Structure 1
Amino acid sequence: MSDVARPGTVVPATALLALVFFDVLRVWLPSLLFIVGDAGSTSAVVMGGIAIAIAVAAPLVCGLLGGAAVRIGWPVGVLLLVGGRVLLQFSDGGPLQFAAASIAFVGAGIAFGAIGAGAPSGRQARIAVLLGIVGSAVIHTGLGTTDLVWRDGPAAWSALIVLLAATVLAARNATAVLGPDRTPTSGPAWPWWLMGPVVVLIGVLTAPPGRMVTATDWPDVLVVGAVIGAHGVAIVTAVSARWFGPAVAGVSGAGLVLFGTAGSLQAASLTAVAAQVLLAAGIGLIVGAAARADIGVSLRRRAIAAAGFPLALVVIGFLYYAGYDIALPFPRRAVLLVTSTLVAGAGLFIATAEFRPALRERGTARQVLAVATATIATAGVAAALVASPTPMQPTPGAAGEEIGITLYNIHMGFDPDGRMSLDQIGDVVEGTDPDIVVLNEVDRGWLTTGSREPLRILQERLDMPYVFAPAADEIWGNAVFSRYPITEISIERLPRGRDAMVRSQLIVIMEVEPERRVALIATHLSHVDLQGDTRLPQARAIAGTLARLQERGVPVIIAGDLNAEPDDAELATFGDIARSAVPEANPTFPSHAPEVQIDHILVTQEFDVVGFDVPQTRASDHLPLTARLVLRSEDED
């Protein structure tokens, strides 16, 4: 291989490294939440401290290695990453899963540090990191959000072996050109720190396909295409940023990142799709913009910065997601807006280096026009690709027919050991033969839980349409599947009280028999109630909804994780209007050793309860609750 071609070997090695890293991240974060967090028994502050302690290991090691960060850090980092990833495939949840993911996470950081110190071009290396991250997001979407680590069988192992073998081979080839004694290196250290905020914006706002599904309800094939298109824009703009020049790329990128972030936060609107494209384009321009060479920067500083961007990712991610459990002194979304401002500020800083010379160049106006036109056109195409999937056509049941309802808090799709369990959840729910399914803790794309889209996965199993009700944010809340036609839908926020997380009630009216309608209130009350001023007002709000529906003459079912036991005041608010469909207390939490019943199905007097069950399973940290109901004839009422 010629000396001219050799520097290019760092790009595939870095891209594959970043791809495996993002794959590991989607396991490490849920492991931290569900294994270390232990179903909420560990405080968010303690979990954040543990996460930061692990993330700081890589920059600390690179700082200690100093000039040897390339020679020693590169092989050690790659070995830890690949070894940890293999161990992950063998693990079956629990502490081993968290340990394996942590080893791989630290290994990736050390390897990034070696790249930052020794890569011939820091700009190319960072574009390669971006390529790996978006490549992982595309593969994640193409796999239906069920990554290889959650799959068993020869196909999953074969794909993993090919991926890791390619990573090791690319890393071996890159060894020949990494290091100051082989190829002159240049470039500042600070752009590497920038990759932390960049990965947060991608991981939270553009990578989760659930955000796009929430906004559009497009079919899977179009969602995959849209994710590929949006992230393809990021790579195209990153590669072409140097052609635009630092001034144009930096200023345009800053504007696109700010506008794209603000628009992407509104996940429930179609404009969010266009905003995601704008955000991806802006990120690409800023990452790809050439920063001034700074040969005087030491290898140690570049190694620490490159190894530290996962640490920056963890700190920002903790601040954002902690806002769901801790009452922060500022709005939770402010974290992402400040993050986008940091990235935009970096773009402006890059632009100022050559701003005046760029203005004197004759082609500047054309470059600005080209960037603006391409961005607007791409966003317009994304917004115009509105698909109209063929909706399922439910039909009412026969008079006197049993109505089967299943309630399940699915724990964001993870079992108590931190393993993704959507297949097992699907088996459990399908086995109850339900007509109506109420799900709590539905997470459609949080980075901390692996960015999955559970509703599409479960819809394939149940073959029923669903309604999603946001609660904590646009992609986290409650859902209802129904084989009956839905005639009315409304979503109401519940009193927040002292809970940092917003709660909601989803009111769905269904035609269960010809010309006979039933209302379902699906909800999930707060687990925070230190002084009785949070959950009780929420229960009273639901009781008010119940009373209004009864005034309309509509039979009502209330289903949800109420975080209250049968004799608690919250249940008493419903008085004699709604009674439990489970005659005797049946504990539903925790699933491995049930002690308390906090999940409830309540019905009004128009229903007869002809059966109930509490299936025993560890697919979630809660047990499901099922009931068989018969709606009395109007003459009996």
Structure 2
Amino acid sequence: MRHRQLRTAALALGVVVLLDVLRVWLPSIITVFGRAAETPAELLGAFALGWFVLALAAPVLVRRLGPHPVGAVAAGVLAATRLALTAAPGGRVQLWLGCAGLLAGLVWLAATAATVSRPVPGLAYGLAVAAVGHALLGTEDLVWRGGVLGWVGSVLLVAAFLAAQLAASPPAGRVALDGGAASEPGGGAGRAAWLLVGPVLLLAGQVALAPAVWDAAAAYWHGSVDLPGLALPPARLAAVPEVAIGLFLAAVLLRPPRPVARLLWPAALVVGAGLFATDRAGWLAPAVLLAAAGLGGCLALVDGPGGPSPSQDLGMAADPGTDGGRRRGFAVVGGMLGFAIGAVAYYAAYDLGYPNGWVPALAALAVAVAAVLAPPLAAAPVRWPVPVWTVLAAMLLTAVGGGLHRPAPAPKPPATPPAAVRVVAYNIRMGFGLDGRLDVDALARAVNGSRPDVVLLSEVDRGWLLNGGHDTLALLAGRLRMPYVFAPAADPVWGDAVLSRFPVRAGRTEPLAAHGAPTGAQALGVTLDLGGRDLAVVATHLQPPPGEGPVAQAGEVAAFATRYAAGRPLVLGGDLNTEPGDPAFAEFTRAGLVDALAAARPLRTSPADEPRSQIDHVFVTPGLSPSGAAAPRGTASDHLPVAVTLALP
């Protein structure tokens, strides 16, 4: 393998390892340092951005000590922290390991930039490998899995990265560059490509190459008009994941005439990000597909002229301490600072209440402008070290991942109606426990311990980059072997869900007015077939305005629920952010609903380690007789689940 190909492989594998660290670091900032919105957004943002600002010293360090020793040490630290995160018990240890791994990854990027002026092949393949691997794992990282699979996979990944990094280093007495001098033709293009690493990672993780978002988009495509989030297992009717990864790689590898590409790919990327920013669930699939194709095409446009000369491949290029390498180092760290600013700004919107759709839109615009302004390629076409058939291979592996993690099949109605149903309502905090670790097994145990027939979930995440890009709903439903219905609230991949052992006959979701609350809310109604009898179920998560109770939303949900039930037995539950005796709580009793947990009060549910508040509730129509109410203790979320048995009239 030629030296340049080894550097491409090292960069690609390093991107995969760095993305693994980011998928731990980002949620750790929110759940451990941020303590789930208890820490002020300004302090959280300053802490997060500080690590990227600190990394701005990396290019100076690389210039003084040389890129290869700095890169080797940084790669070793990145690999070590990646392995340590698999063993970390969570909490502050996980947070500081994530910070150390992030900083090492940024230093490694700066050192790599000093010797590689053409990062697009390694970046593109790294993003593709990470996305396909995440799809094969059902969006649950090896970092969180542990066990034999987690450790063997993690060790193999880290070993491959370190081996490629070592093999890509030049022999003693030689310096291997992919073009380093500032005066080198195409040096500006190289800096532009490195500067785009941050925005590209943001767009890939948030929209274009996020397998959890792919699956959510596919679910919307085969839902109904009233309930677009209804998953129809076992078949996935919309092949959004396979098409997305295929479009991305094809756009990178297969290059149309430049005048066409310069118009087509930037336009596709901007339109895709714009559709994503509208927060319209029905537009999520076209947003993903357009963004995937546009991102791949824009990367092809900024892929620098021609490549290195034969003498550079033999290791006889200029001194890596030149201004060109240093400028590329500052470019990549500055681009990653842009990634951090975008991620923090997107999250802060849910505390501060401004529209955050502009974050991916601005990132897409930056990449699109760079692609339009990029100089044309050299006359000879640039050859990539991997053949075009990799497009089909990536699509096939993505399809295999979808087959391995297929939703549970729709159940058949029982022969006779049951005498009672067991209902659980649970705010799952996007799957993260009080220790800050994603532990879907612990969530499943917390739910299964009550042996539920129906589960109402709040704070369901189906692909937020800020939480690591996991489809928590599909992962939990798979462990519970229950099909699900999802309804978006804050945006198309964050909301509420109903899981049921009975078939769903119909459903409807209704957005709730914000009334000054920064985070969106909705009411999800589904009709369950109990074997000749219907049960109406409504799941919601009320969002109170700052300093107030969710009185107005409570009234809206109560009115929606009674309309939707239309005289049928009704169950309404979720995180209502109100306590018994509060005005918002009274809105439900005023609508004629009964507190199903009243016999067990006080039944405090938040915070999970020291419950003080009773904010998770279940209400029913008078014909249903509740018994056995409980709030099992555990720390799989920051809330406790509430469970109750309802005897049917």
Fold shared by both chains (TM-score > 0.5): yes
Tell me how far apart the structure 1 counterparts of residues 260 and 288 of structure 2 sit (CA, whole Å).
Answer: 20
CA deviations on 1:457-490 (whole Å, 9 max, x unpaired) are 2222333321111100111000001223333311
Tell me how far apart the structure 2 counterparts of residues 602 and 399 of structure 1 sit (CA, whole Å).
Answer: 21
User: How much does 1:86 deviate?
Assistant: 1.8
Partner of 2:387: none
Instruction: Give the match's secondary structure for 1:434.
Output: coil
Tell me how far apart the structure 2 counterparts of residues 308 and 220 of structure 1 sit (CA, whole Å).
Answer: 45
Partner of 2:524: 506
Partner of 2:227: none
CA deviations on 1:204-228 (whole Å, 9 max, x unpaired) are 1123323232232376996998535
Tell me how far apart the structure 2 counterparts of residues 522 and 408 of structure 1 sit (CA, whole Å).
Answer: 10
Tell me how far apart the structure 2 counterparts of residues 317 and 247 of structure 1 sit (CA, whole Å).
Answer: 33
Structure 1 residue corresponding to 2:373, chosen from 342, 349, 355 = 349
Partner of 1:22: 19
Partner of 2:274: 262
Instruction: Give the match's secondary structure for 1:575.
Output: helix
Residues 1:172 and 2:166 are matched in the alignment: yes
Structure 2 residue corresponding to 1:564, chosen from 574, 578, 589 = 578
Residues 1:128 and 2:94 are matched in the alignment: no
Instruction: Give the match's secondary structure for 2:352.
Output: coil
Q: Taking structure 1 as the reference length, what is the TM-score of the superposition? A: 0.86
Tell me how far apart the structure 2 counterparts of residues 231 and 53 of structure 1 sit (CA, whole Å).
Answer: 33
Tell me how far apart the structure 1 counterparts of residues 587 and 291 of structure 2 sit (CA, whole Å).
Answer: 47
- Show the 5 A alignment for 1:352-391: 353-354=375-376, 391=409
Partner of 1:369: none
Partner of 1:370: none
Structure 1 residue corresponding to 2:50, chosen from 53, 60, 78 = 53
Deviates more, 1:74-83 or 1:29-38: 74-83
Structure 2 residue corresponding to 1:138, chosen from 132, 135, 145 = 132
Unaligned runs of 5+ in 1: 364-374, 633-637
Tell me how far apart the structure 2 counterparts of residues 53 and 216 of structure 1 sit (CA, whole Å).
Answer: 37
Deviates more, 1:576-585 or 1:497-506: 576-585
Return the letter of the residue paired with 1:192.
W
Structure 1 residue corresponding to 2:304, chosen from 284, 291, 312 = 291
Tell me how far apart the structure 2 counterparts of residues 349 and 421 of structure 1 sit (CA, whole Å).
Answer: 45
Partner of 1:581: 596
User: How much does 1:17 deviate?
Assistant: 0.5
Partner of 2:292: 280
Deviates more, 1:231-240 or 1:442-451: 231-240
User: How much does 1:240 deviate?
Assistant: 4.1
Deviates more, 1:84-93 or 1:455-464: 455-464
Partner of 1:367: none
Contact 1:142/1:224 (8 A) holds in 2: no
Partner of 2:204: 202
Contact 1:212/1:223 (8 A) holds in 2: no
Q: Call closer, same or farther: CA 1:179–1:440 in 2, change over 3 Å.
A: farther
Residues 1:468 and 2:486 are matched in the alignment: yes
User: How much does 1:297 deviate?
Assistant: 5.1
Partner of 1:541: 556
- Show the 5 A alignment for 1:215-234: 215-217=217-219, 227=241, 229-234=243-248
User: How much does 1:127 deviate?
Assistant: 2.1
Structure 1 residue corresponding to 2:214, chosen from 212, 215, 222 = 212
User: How much does 1:431 deviate?
Assistant: 2.1
Partner of 2:9: 12
Partner of 1:421: 439
Partner of 1:521: 538
Residues 1:610 and 2:634 are matched in the alignment: no
Contact 2:407/2:474 (8 A) holds in 1: no
Tell me how far apart the structure 2 counterparts of residues 549 and 8 of structure 1 sit (CA, whole Å).
Answer: 61
Q: Call closer, same or farther: CA 1:203–1:221 in 2, change over 3 Å.
A: farther
User: How much does 1:235 deviate?
Assistant: 3.2
CA deviations on 1:135-191 (whole Å, 9 max, x unpaired) are 112111101111111122233222211111111111111121899954342422232
Tell me how far apart the structure 2 counterparts of residues 518 and 89 of structure 1 sit (CA, whole Å).
Answer: 43
Partner of 1:446: 464
Partner of 1:325: 351
Deviates more, 1:495-504 or 1:485-494: 485-494
Return the letter of the residue paired with 1:37.
G
Tell me how far apart the structure 2 counterparts of residues 316 and 179 of structure 1 sit (CA, whole Å).
Answer: 42
Tell me how far apart the structure 2 counterparts of residues 542 and 240 of structure 1 sit (CA, whole Å).
Answer: 51
User: How much does 1:528 deviate?
Assistant: 3.7
Contact 2:233/2:410 (8 A) holds in 1: no
Residues 1:303 and 2:303 are matched in the alignment: no
Q: Call closer, same or farther: CA 1:557–1:222 in 2, change over 3 Å.
A: closer
Contact 1:138/1:228 (8 A) holds in 2: no
Contact 1:249/1:347 (8 A) holds in 2: no
Deviates more, 1:195-204 or 1:177-186: 177-186
CA deviations on 1:425-451 (whole Å, 9 max, x unpaired) are 112212211111000000000001111
Contact 1:247/1:354 (8 A) holds in 2: no
User: How much does 1:193 deviate?
Assistant: 1.5
Instruction: Give the match's secondary structure for 1:404.
Output: strand
Partner of 2:194: 192
Contact 1:14/1:129 (8 A) holds in 2: yes
Residues 1:98 and 2:95 are matched in the alignment: yes
Contact 1:13/1:171 (8 A) holds in 2: yes
Partner of 2:30: 33
- Show the 5 A alignment for 1:397-436: 398-399=416-417, 401-436=419-454
User: How much does 1:389 deviate?
Assistant: 8.7
Return the letter of the residue paired with 2:72.
P
Contact 2:277/2:361 (8 A) holds in 1: no
Contact 2:142/2:149 (8 A) holds in 1: no
Deviates more, 1:563-572 or 1:270-279: 270-279
CA deviations on 1:469-528 (whole Å, 9 max, x unpaired) are 1100111000001223333311111120221111111122223352x3332221101144
Aligned pairs, number: 596
Return the letter of the residue paired with 1:597.
Q
Partner of 1:338: 362
Contact 1:525/1:562 (8 A) holds in 2: yes
Partner of 2:340: 314
Instruction: Give the match's secondary structure for 1:325.
Output: helix
Q: Call closer, same or farther: CA 1:522–1:175 in 2, change over 3 Å.
A: same
Return the letter of the residue paired with 1:260.
G
